[in-house]
């Protein structure tokens, strides 16, 4: 999660290894990253993550052949329903596949997205440009009803546990794992 923020962070720090116009286009497979590098995996609360995806789908109009075009204009419930119909295992696209899938065989340090800025200030090299919050391309999120949030939570229980165990600073008050605080 946080690909827009991470791409801007990479660009601000001149850390790109691939010759591409934008860092978002320069994703690398974990297998080519040196083992000496610190491995950090950003984790997002499952309902927040779906909320972001839903906002992105509704706010960014796509070409007719784009996968997400068929989800435009749907309610949150119907959007999630259609995602499940199109990809019952949720593996079609990394935007909605379980975050635990992306980890693979690695054993990275897990950091919650909302605490990454604090984590960076504590652990990143001091001569780096810090991450900037709220650089997501989606605007304000439309409301997600509690019934849909419960459905998302039930489908992503493993991700919920991962988020709950992710690094959070002692100065950050973790939201409770209840649906009402996530929705």
Confidence (pLDDT) at 135: 58
pLDDT at residue number 172? 44
Question: Among 38-52, 61-75, 80-94, 160-174, which is the least confidently predicted range?
Answer: 160-174
Q: How far apart are CA 102 and CA 127, in angstroms?
A: 29
Please tell me which of 14-18, 49-53, 74-78, 168-172 the model is most confident about, judged by mean pLDDT. Answer: 74-78
Q: What is the pTM of this model?
A: 0.79
Residue 144: exposure state from Cβ atoms within 10 A (0-12, 13-18, ≥19): buried
Nearest to 46 by CA among 160, 134, 158: 160
Q: What is the pLDDT of residue 147?
A: 96
What would you measure as the largest C-alpha separation in the chain, in angstroms? 47
157-165 and 146-155 helices, crossing angle to 10°: 80
C-alpha span between 114 and 175 (Å, rounded): 10
Task: Give the whole-angstrom CA distance, residue 154 versus residue 4.
Answer: 27
Residue 34 burial class via C-beta count within 10 angstroms: exposed 0-12, middle 13-18, buried 19 and up = exposed
DSSP 73-122: T--HHHHHHHHHHH-TTS-S-TTTS-HHHHHTT--PEEEEGGGHHHHHHH
* C-alpha–C-alpha distance, residues 117 and 112, integer Å: 10
Per-residue pLDDT band for 68 (boundaries 50, 70, 90) equals very high
Tokens of 109: 């340090």
């Amino acid at each position: 999660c946080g690909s827009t923020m991470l791409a801007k962070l990479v660009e601000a720090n001149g850390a790109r290894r691939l010759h591409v116009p934008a860092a978002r286009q320069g994703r690398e497979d974990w297998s080519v990253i040196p083992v000496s590098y610190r491995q950090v995996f950003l984790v997002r609360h499952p309902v927040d993550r779906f909320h972001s995806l839903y906002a992105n789908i509704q706010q960014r109009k796509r070409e007719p052949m784009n996968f997400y075009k068929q989800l435009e204009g749907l309610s949150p419930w119907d959007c999630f329903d259609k995602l499940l119909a199109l990809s019952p295992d949720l593996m079609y696209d990394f935007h909605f596949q379980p975050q635990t899938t992306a980890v693979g065989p690695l054993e990275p340090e897990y950091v919650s997205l909302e605490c990454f800025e604090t984590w960076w200030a504590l652990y990143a090299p001091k001569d780096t440009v810090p991450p900037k919050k709220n650089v997501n391309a989606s605007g304000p999120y439309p409301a997600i009803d509690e019934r849909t949030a419960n459905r998302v939570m039930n489908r992503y229980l493993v991700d919920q546990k991962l988020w709950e165990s992710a690094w959070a600073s002692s100065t950050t008050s973790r939201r409770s794992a209840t649906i009402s605080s996530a929705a």
